[in-house]
Amino acid sequence: MEKIPVGISSCLLGERVRFDGGHKYDRFINRRLADFFDFRPFCPEVAIGLGIPREPIRLVTTATGLRVQGVKNTALDVTERLVACGGQAARDMDALCGYIFKARSPSCGMARVKTWHESGLPGRSDGIGAYAQAVMRARPNLPCEEEGRLNDPDLRDNFIERVFTRYRWTRLLARGITPAQLVEFHSRHKLTVMAHNQAAYRRLGRLVATAGGKGFGELCDRYETELMTALKRQATRKSHGNVLQHLQGYFSRQLTADDRAELGGLIDRYRLGLVPLAAPLTLIRHHLRHYPNDWALRQTYLDPYPPELLPG
């Protein structure tokens, strides 16, 4: 399988681009994700010409809003340059299926970046890096995450699932999507969407039902936005439990009473947080091998991404 193009803050790959000439090499990104992702590194502070090493910058709350200013030299203000850099970079991101930002950076942080008052006193930790904000505004459907949050198994799973979903979608678009292919794509992703957002599942179904009419390109744009927005919402144990039960219905009648009780018990234990999702899913895959159902077996929900990237 070809690697998936994903943008990343350069310092996370170990590139010495930080203000002090250092880096922020991230082990999980470089040891695990790099086997599947084709990382496209970018450092906005270097790109706007600040140099290495450079004056450190930070987010400052001013009368005109948040500004990115020098820590020692407060006359240095690079807000507009970083915003323009983000807008320009985003224009070249058609091929990207995700972006991993460096947390807490006044340029790259996605959220909860420390801010300062003009007096020099610390403020709230609710800022957004100027470059990251410009990218996210220009590319709202691009899966984005910070490296620190990838240590959380649920957040990691959510990000990787979104990247792989976007990859399958962009490949379809690149080949020239037809209404029939949209229907097939949607059919394969039904349970995935159902696990994240029931309302979006119904909206997407209604949208796809009109795929044969005029304005197919616009319909695909709406589908992409609705799909990527739906997947942003974290799937819960309750919603996964409902999907697992739904899947069970495709072969339940063929199971012995003992097998049915075993799977039902495993789904209950997953709901209670006693076993990981992989436990009932593995048993469901096993039963589907013995009692195949074409529709269920095509579901991306069963294999959202390579097992090597599963949490654990």
- Footprint of ligand SF4 (CB under 6 A): 9-11, 17-18, 43-45, 102, 105, 107-108
CB of 106 to ligand SF4, least distance (A): 8
Distance CA 241, CA 253 (A): 19
State both tokens at 8: 């990343």
Q: Which is nearer to ligand SF4, 159 or 305 (CB)?
A: 159
Q: Quick one: DSSP state of residue 122?
A: B
Q: Which is nearer to ligand SF4, 9 or 299 (CB)?
A: 9
Check if the beta carbon of residue 228 is closer than 8 Å to that of residue 162. yes
Q: Which is nearer to ligand SF4, 79 or 248 (CB)?
A: 79
CB of 105 to ligand SF4, least distance (A): 4
CB of 15 to ligand SF4, least distance (A): 8
271: enclosing H helix or E strand: helix 257-271
Place of tokens 């234990």: 269
CB of 57 to ligand SF4, least distance (A): 9
Q: Which is nearer to ligand SF4, 37 or 251 (CB)?
A: 37
Q: Which is nearer to ligand SF4, 9 or 165 (CB)?
A: 9
Q: What are phi and psi of 4, to 5 degrees?
A: -90, 130
State both tokens at 294: 């074409």
CB of 172 to ligand SF4, least distance (A): 31
CB of 232 to ligand SF4, least distance (A): 23
Q: What are phi and psi of 66, to 5 degrees?
A: -75, 130
Distance CA 221, CA 201 (A): 16
Check if the beta carbon of residue 216 is closer than 8 Å to that of residue 172. no
Q: Which is nearer to ligand SF4, 146 or 226 (CB)?
A: 146
CB of 102 to ligand SF4, least distance (A): 3
Percentages (nearest 5) of helix, strand, coil residues in the chain: 55, 10, 35
Q: Which is nearer to ligand SF4, 45 or 157 (CB)?
A: 45
Quick one: three-class SS letters along 48-97?
CCCCCCCCCEEEEEECCEEEEEECCCCCCECHHHHHHHHHHHHHCCCCCC
Q: What are phi and psi of 253, to 5 degrees?
A: -65, -20
